[in-house]
Amino acid sequence: MTSQKNSRRRFLQRVLVSGGALLLSGCDQLSRSEWFAKLLGSAERLSFAAQRLLLTRKAMAQEFTEADLSPDFRSNGTSNPDNPEYQALAAGRFADYRLQVGGLVARPRTYSLDDLKALPSRTQITRHDCVEGWSAIGKWKGVQLSRVLEQVEPHASARYVVFHCADPMDVSGERYYESIDLEDAWHAQTLLAYELNDVPLPIKNGAPVRVRVERQLGYKMAKYIMRIELVDRLDHIAGGEGGYWEDRGYEWYAGI
Ligand SMILES: Nc1nc2c(c(=O)[nH]1)N[C@H]1C(S)=C(S)[C@@H](COP(=O)(O)O)O[C@H]1N2
Ligand SMILES: [Mo]
């Protein structure tokens, strides 16, 4: 997290410095005081623009049409969690699945699959990009994470949403997990998806519920979500970097 904040700050500094240099080259005709006022004013605008660019990421990811759908949406990473509790849920077609939502919220609660399906849904056709070098276009249906957040009411101190998954990833039994910030969590295209290409989300793609956080790389799209936790910091969870792959060196902010 710290390194991410530092690199953001460094980026802002670079924008400011290059903006200042640009102004300097064009200001021979200006008096000193005019020059200074101009630099200050522009630097402020630049910094605002850079912050807007970096900190409010409202833009929508591209959406596609049915004609663009990949014939098959492949599976990557875990394709069937080797976890007895998960296997029992799957055997019962997830009738006993209960998604827990808690942490820094006013109204912690659990959702059955039917509870999630009873909420308004969104359908979107988007492209998934995996760092391993493949992409696929799929049609996702689910409930916007924002709908769930509205119901659980995050505390003002909450800064991240953490997804805890069912799949043990190594011999230690460590689970897959991921996290996003609240900006991405409230985004209109961020879904708790329960359908892929008009059928219930297959096990290989994360049944019963996986997150779609479009504009981010594949590893952020946690599958087999069992619990959602609102937190104010990430350094006390597992390896402390905000995700299973982040703990192993991947970038936390995987925006594309
Ligand atoms: N729980 C869990 N979520 C996961 C993974 C995983 O192994 N376990 N793999 C990630 C990676 S690297 C990618 S590219 C996508 C793959 O999604 P897919 O299996 O639907 O293709 O899920 C991500 N989410
Ligand atoms: Mo991936």
Ligand 1 pocket test target in 219, 224, 227, 246 with most atoms within 8 Å of CB: 219
- Ligand found nearest the CA of 77: 1
How far is the centre of ligand 2, averaged over its atoms, from the C-alpha of 76 (Å)?
6
Mean pLDDT of 157-178: 93
Average pLDDT, the chain: 86
The residues near 145 (Cβ < 8 Å, ≥ 6 apart) are 161, 185, 186, 190, 191, 192, 211
Determine which residue's CA is closest to atom 5 belonging to ligand 1.
77
Which pLDDT does position 173 carry in this prediction? 82
β partners of residue 154:
105
Closest Cα to residue 240, out of 166, 129, 160? 160
Q: Encoding tokens for residue 69?
A: 């759908």
How far is the centre of ligand 2, averaged over its atoms, from the C-alpha of 135 (Å)?
9
Query: In the chain, what are the domains?
Result: 61-244 (3.90.420.10)
Mean pLDDT of 149-167: 98
How far is the centre of ligand 1, averaged over its atoms, from the C-alpha of 82 (Å)?
15
pLDDT at 81 over 90: yes
Mean pLDDT is lowest, of 25-29, 80-84, 221-225, for 25-29
pLDDT at 47 over 80: no
Ligand 1 pocket test target in 162, 221, 224 with most atoms within 8 Å of CB: 221
How far is the centre of ligand 1, averaged over its atoms, from the C-alpha of 254 (Å)?
14
SS3 (DSSP) at 132: coil
Q: Which residues line ligand 1 (CB under 6 A)?
A: 73-78, 130, 165, 167, 176, 205-206, 218-219, 221-224
Mean pLDDT of 127-139: 97
Q: Strands 99-103 and 199-200: what pairing?
A: unpaired
How far is the centre of ligand 2, averaged over its atoms, from the C-alpha of 130 (Å)?
4
Calculated CA dihedral for residues 9, 12, 13, 17, nearest 10 degrees: 180
Closest Cα to residue 180, out of 136, 146, 224? 146
- Ligand 2 ion: Cβ-proximal residues, 5 Å cutoff: 130, 218-219
Cβ-count burial 178-204 (b if 16+ within 10 Å, e if not): bbbbeebbbbebbbbbbbbbeeebebe
Which pLDDT does position 9 carry in this prediction? 46
Provide the percentage of residues in the chain whose pLDDT is more than 70: 78
Which sign, positive or negative, has the C-alpha torsion 161, 166, 167, 168? positive
Ligand 1 pocket test target in 130, 223, 247, 248 with most atoms within 8 Å of CB: 223
pLDDT at 38 over 60: no
Provide the percentage of residues in the chain whose pLDDT is more than 90: 73
Mean pLDDT of 126-131: 97
Mean pLDDT of 123-144: 97
CA distances from residue 253 to 91, 155, 184 in whole angstroms, order as listed: 35, 23, 10
pLDDT at 50 over 70: no
Determine which residue's CA is closest to atom 1 belonging to ligand 1.
223
Which pLDDT does position 34 carry in this prediction? 54
Taking the complete model, does pTM exceed 0.85, yes or no?
no
How far is the centre of ligand 2, averaged over its atoms, from the C-alpha of 69 (Å)?
19
Question: Which phi and psi angles does 84 have, rounded to 5°?
Answer: -55, -40
Mean pLDDT is lowest, of 41-45, 129-133, 182-186, 205-209, for 41-45
Mean pLDDT of 42-60: 58
Say which amino acid occupies 194: Y
Determine which residue's CA is closest to atom 14 belonging to ligand 1.
218
Which pLDDT does position 49 carry in this prediction? 56
Tens-place pLDDT, residues 134-154: 999 999 999 999 999 999 999
